Amino acid sequence: MRTCCRAVLPVLVLTALLTAVAGSAFAAEAPFVPFDLGTLGGNASAHAVNNSGRVVGVVAGARFRAFSWTSAEGMIDLGTLGCSGESEATAVNASGQVVGSATTCDSSDHAFSWTPTGGMIDLGTLGGRDAAPFAVNDSGQVVGWSNPTGDFRFHAFTWTPAGGMIDLGTLGGSDSFALALNASGQVVGGVSGTRNRAFSWTPTEGMIDLGTLGGPHSQANAVNASGQIAGWSNVDDQFKRNAVSWMPDGGMIDLGVLGDTSDSSEAVAVNNRGQVVGSSSRSGFWRAFSWTPAGGMVELPALGEGTSGAVAVNARGQVVGASFAGDLGLRPVLWPPIANLECPTTLAG
């Protein structure tokens, strides 16, 4: 049994300390080290973390299975919607409600909600075959995409216990998908068509186009309580994209890249402190990053050589994602501030 993460990962801790000395002001305040959450068998990847440190994601063994992890419980299998199907968890709120998609007995994929007391329930679709949720807020509102009745296209939806599943439209494009929402019910995502565009939706304003850095395409991946949005945009007509943040006042900030100007980046999550996380290409690999207004973009250390990526960050600054770890394959990773990293039991506090 691992008794102390510092004893297991001395090289990675040293790397984090060196980053703190040589990196930004934010890195000096709270450098990061990676912690392997383990697996239920096969590869695994973390997709989200709540403010109490509950991590959710998917294990890719003989079948794909949704998991939840806490320091007290370890990793547990969340089950399926029946018929020995598959499942994947994509988001978790403050109360521990987990959402994701699971295979049903007719081999379609439906949105699900799971709670520690109620288990897994089927949220259905917009009338078509499939649905996939990507986010849930603390009031239990869920967003994602689903097929409308008799249609192979997909539309962004919002679901509430009172109102069920509602189609948010497409801004005139062919498809749309909702990727995140905040406590007030502001929803963000993307519209697909000739030009893919980031959108924001509220019950009062409906769906609005957020624009780009000058290229044809953009996408909004996350939004915090103040309305700050994180995502990506093309900077020209080429395939290069940069991580961006749309601020509550309507301005767009280019967050840059970890490598040179030919590299790309994408922001996928933002917490209520304005800390943004995602991935950036550098030296032929994609690397996890954290960005703050004061410190800029900082690379997060990996478990080994190769690709890593950050996918979520909570209010405490804990970051989750995945990293290749040599012969161990792809592993879910928690990057906590080093002040919290005494032993594994302190990580989710």
Q: What is the pLDDT of residue 261?
A: 84
Paired strand residues for 59: 44, 65
Q: What is the pLDDT of residue 341?
A: 27
Percent of the chain residues topping a pLDDT of 90: 46
Q: What is the pLDDT of residue 14?
A: 22
Mean pLDDT over 217-240 rounds to: 92
Alpha-carbon distances of 138 from 51, 56, 94, 141, 231, rounded to whole Å: 11, 16, 6, 7, 22
Q: What is the pLDDT of residue 141?
A: 96
* Residues near 197 by beta carbon (within 8 Å), at least 6 away in sequence: 171, 173, 190, 191, 209, 210, 211, 212, 217, 218, 219
In the chain the domains, ranked by start, together with CATH numbers, are 5-346 (2.130.10.150)
pLDDT tens for each residue of 266-316:
999 999 999 999 999 988 889 999 998 888 999 998 887 778 999 888 888
Q: What is the mean pLDDT of the chain?
A: 81
Q: What is the pLDDT of residue 296?
A: 92
Burial 292-318 (b: 16+ CB within 10 A, else e): beebbbbbbbbbeeebbbbbbbbebbb
Mean pLDDT over 80-105 rounds to: 90
Work out the pLDDT band at 337, boundaries 50, 70, 90: low
* Three-state DSSP class for residue 47: strand
- Helix (H) or strand (E) holding 20, with range, is helix 10-22
Of 172, 171, 173, 208, nearest in space to 187 by CA = 208
User: What string of DSSP letters covers 65-93?
Assistant: EEEEEETTTEEEE---SSTT--EEEEEE-
pLDDT tens for each residue of 8-25:
222 222 223 223 222 333
Q: What is the pLDDT of residue 79?
A: 86
Q: Residues, the chain, total?
A: 349
Work out the pLDDT band at 32, boundaries 50, 70, 90: low
The residue among 331 and 299 whose pLDDT is bigger is 299
Mean pLDDT over 334-338 rounds to: 65
The residue among 47 and 291 whose pLDDT is bigger is 291
User: What is the rounded distance in angstroms from the CA atom of residue 8 to the CA atom of residue 2?
Assistant: 7
